[in-house]
A and B are shown apart, each in its own frame.
Chain A
């Protein structure tokens, strides 16, 4: 059974870089069948797609975040990561990692991790 687990600091200072890692077990991020995705949800609000990475290293980003986002994969650790620079309070959210099939559906999700941006 595929499992994903987010990890990283729960508190980040404004203007700094948010960094999260998603560890995948029960499956390989090197599979050609899937994309690996980051999605966030501000408290009390809806879901926002951040972006995804394919096993080739190709990345796809939300245009509204593209200038600040980097998503990458590490096949040796079976992990993929998210970096979001120059954060503000608006970036406070629960961040989910997931497995996506051809960018058409996210069928496996991590439990999510709350990241709070402090001033």
Chain B
């Protein structure tokens, strides 16, 4: 199974909004509302930020939001803060009863 497609990097200034895309196929992203997003700081385990396309776990800031259109999911971070600088990964359930990750996107806060 090929990884979901994410941009390698995005950047934004404090206070701005950025969006990270995650493209798949009808057998994963487009076929199910089971897209998740993870934040990973260097040397740390990933942290779940969004699940089921647009739901936030308890304790995750409402500056983080998710959406999906067709075979592409998106993560939007509004009001960028320095602490948001990290790697972000999307993942999706697939028709083969497996899970697939995106290649990851490095967010730089300028």
Contact = CB atoms under 8 A, between A and B. Distances in A.
A binds B: yes
A77 to B, nearest CB: 22
A104 B45 contact: no
Interface residues of B, number: 25
Given A62-B98, A103-B99, A105-B36, A46 B89 contact: yes
Given A52-B99, A105-B36, A107-B51, 17 more contacts: A46-B3, A47-B38, A47-B46, A49-B101, A63-B96, A96-B45, A96-B46, A100-B99, A101-B51, A103-B97, A103-B98, A104-B34, A104-B52, A106-B36, A107-B57, A109-B45, A112-B45
A48 B101 contact: yes
Contact of B98 (A46, A47, A60, A111): A60
Interface string B8-50: 0000000000000000000000000010101010000111100
B109 interface: no
Given A61-B98, A96-B45, A105-B51, A47 B104 contact: yes
A49 B96 contact: no
B48 A107 contact: yes
A56 interface: no
A110 interface: yes
Interface in B77-109: 89, 91, 93, 96-104
A10 B67 CA distance: 39
Nearest to B99: A49
Contacts of A60: 97-98
Nearest to B51: A105
